[in-house]
Amino acid sequence: MPFPRDEMGEAPLTRTPIPVPTHFHHAEQSFSLKKRGRSLCYTLPPRPPVKSIPPISRIFPNRQRSWSQPRPQSVSFCTPLTAPPASKLYDLSKGETFFKQCFQSICKLGRGSFGEVYKVRSREDDCLYAVKRSVSPFRGESDRQRKLQEVRKHERVGQHPNCVHFVRAWEEKSLLYLQTELCACSLQQYSEELPNPLPPHQVWNFTCDLLRGLKHLHDRNLLHLDIKPANVFMSFSGVCKLGDFGLMVELDGSDGGGEAQEGDPRYMAPELLDGMFGKAADVFSLGMTLLEVSCNMELPKGGEGWQLLRQGHLPTEFTSDLPPDFLKVLSAMLDPDHRRRATVDWLLSLPSIQRAERWRKLTLSAQWTLGKLFAMCQVRIHLWFCKRWLVTWPQLSNLLTSPSYIMSSPMRLFAAPAALNPGAGNTRTPHTLSYKLVHPASFLLTTLTAAFFSFCWSLFLLCPFLPPLHLASLPLASLPHAPFPAASSSPCVLTPCVLFTLRPYPMRPLHLASLPLASLPLASLPHAPFPAASSSPCILTPCVLSCRLLTPCALSCRLLTPCALSCRLLTPCALSCRLLTPCALSCRLLTPCALSCRLLTPCALSCRLLTPCALSCRLLTPCALSCRLLTPCALSCRLLTPCALSCRLLTPCALSCRLLTPCALSCRLLTPCALSCRLLTPCALSCRLLFTLRPYPMRPFLLIPVCAVWPVPARFLPADVAVAPRCGFSWL
């Protein structure tokens, strides 16, 4: 059926109803509570459209940029040279990105209009991080420079406990990656999950944290301009940190106030509408953030409520429950006049803020201390029955006397050191071992730690299955002696100062591959004099290999002892030897060639090294510290006094010492020949302090089970602790 036509011969228009405009009426109340039904933190703004693309034609060819190459490049404005990111795990030949090879993606934390954030675990240090990756690739050099400004802003912020820590950034395949520390959640997510407003003490804590972070930015002439609960992040310990520095402006930089952009209108200061950017705008945004989380109110985006808040009006129906001091702080931060608005320094000088800040520091210190103690108690309970691991007494004493090392980072105990393999790879010199204290030990921390370890040490001393141990002295005379056997029955050449010698189960040398010399007690030497040269034709003197104690007789004679027949020549360091004292004539280690020496003069009293005549001495006396030679009164002394702490060189008389004190653990050198030695290892051939006496069966001494005080397996111990497998029973 044809449509009817008008006089002009045209078909009339269809009869469609005219749309009626719908008028949106605002609620009668200007302010309202937050709607729990919808989540504000997941509401994303629309993605901006792509305005332009690089021209591709015969006139403008598609040139390959350096940043579009598949090889990753580090992005840093501190170091202008571009280089690949430093990582031992990345292999360019695999074809995978740097992100996939070096990180394990756990989940996606969120997605915005410009990027998406992932929770990742680093394959290098096994720590959790947050990595932000741009959604769209670079559209050109100008777009790349605009996105790289975020890296520059992160580097300008630097490190601060109340700012999100920036780790590194890199670009790969026209995508930008930013690696930062991982936080637990944002302040917006935290406040939305609470059914009630934040308690007053928590509001004070957050205020102190955010003021400190904002002061750090303002001291560097940086404006955040986007402070809101969604950009405030909370660490796993409950500390608030400022983040998302995408809109940050440098007051003293080239991007001044001309390129500044406004943030969320709900938290925007009124002077920003007039183009006046300053530090007062951040203070106003922080005040609006604290008002929202403390009152649990929904901030208006415009209208009458927005104007009332910018005129200094605070709704009493929401702020009636706030403390008066905090209400005064909010009023000062939300002053309509930016010239009279409070500054960060003035706010931090308020008595209420200072009182809250002192309490904040105390609670954080107590929380950190209790957390470390609880972690160590968990390790102790978990490893209570692991009794097959042993640790040497000097190393355990170092751990007990330095609790701040363990408390500073108890996770060091969970670091897996390199496996002990026979050979030179076992040796670790003390100067290669370095420890970094992560947290400084305060007075409260030191007191609690000392009390904790004193209690554990008391329990250890009261254990009925362990033999008695006296800290004041260690009686060696009550323990069985292990003298040197004849040279003919000892085919191996090992040092007598390496292993402890008083318990009857054998010990493999590789288990003591990392014994620092500074930790060895005097008891490591056996109680046995050197045998006569006539009965031991193959015994070398201490001066042969260490080349430090070459006596003057070496100047007139090529051979020191009968065993020197196996030695071809003496090193030139013999010229630096000291004088041999007259009492050396009675030493059994000296050969008759010493009788022909012309240098036995009384000036030997100035010798700094105690002579071999000390072998006939039974006990080392305090008077040995005040004179160069052992006096006759040394023979009547019965024990070693604590003044041995100031002694620099331990003499060979320690071989026959009867009583030792714990101060011997802090001794610097074991014997005079140990001047050039850094480690006492069982691999005596790689050590410079060879006594090279024919060995006795090596028996460990002073090995105690670590589970008695601190039960930690060998793989959890620091790399400088030597361990040995337990053989049936423990003995101290």
- Residues with active-site annotation: 226
Give me the amino acid identity at 614. A
Residues 6+ apart with CB under 8 A from 539: 487, 530, 531, 533, 561, 563, 589, 692, 693, 694
Spatial distance between the Cα atoms of 536 and 538, rounded to a whole number of angstroms? 6
CA 378 to chain centre: 20
The answer to whether 392 and 512 have CB atoms below 8 angstroms apart is yes
- DSSP secondary structure, 490-522, as one string: --S---TTSS---SSS---GGGGS--BGGG--G
The DSSP output letter for 312 is: T
In this structure, is the dihedral angle defined by the CA atoms of residues 470, 475, 478 and 482, taken in order, positive or negative? positive
- DSSP secondary structure, 712-731, as one string: --GGGS-TT--EEE-BSB--
Q: Give, in degrees to the nearest 5, the angle at Cα 488 between 484 and 489.
A: 65
CA 233 to chain centre: 23
**What 3-state class would DSSP assign to 412?**
helix
Give me the count of residues in the chain: 732
Annotated binding-site residues read 132
Structure tokens at 83: 């280089």
CB atoms near residue 569 (< 10 Å): 6
Structure tokens at 619: 């006990």
Spatial distance between the Cα atoms of 705 and 90, rounded to a whole number of angstroms? 42
**What 3-state class would DSSP assign to 574?**
helix
Q: Which residues pair with 170 in a beta bridge?
A: 74, 177
Distances (CA, A) of 298 to 231, 302, 314, 541: 17, 12, 13, 88
Which residue is associated with the tokens 């609880």? 374
Spatial distance between the Cα atoms of 173 and 171, rounded to a whole number of angstroms? 7
Sheet containing 103-111: order of strands: 73-74, 166-172, 175-181, 128-134, 115-122, 103-111
Spatial distance between the Cα atoms of 334 and 271, rounded to a whole number of angstroms? 12
Annotated binding-site residues for ATP read 132
Residue 292: φ, ψ to 5°: -65, -45
Spatial distance between the Cα atoms of 245 and 223, rounded to a whole number of angstroms? 9
**Residue in 501, 495, 499 with CA at minimum distance from that of residue 511:** 499
Side-chain-side CA neighbours of 579 within 13 Å: the count stands at: 15
- DSSP secondary structure, 581-611, as one string: PGGGGG-TTS-GGGGG-S---GGGGG-SS--
Which residue is associated with the tokens 């041995």? 644
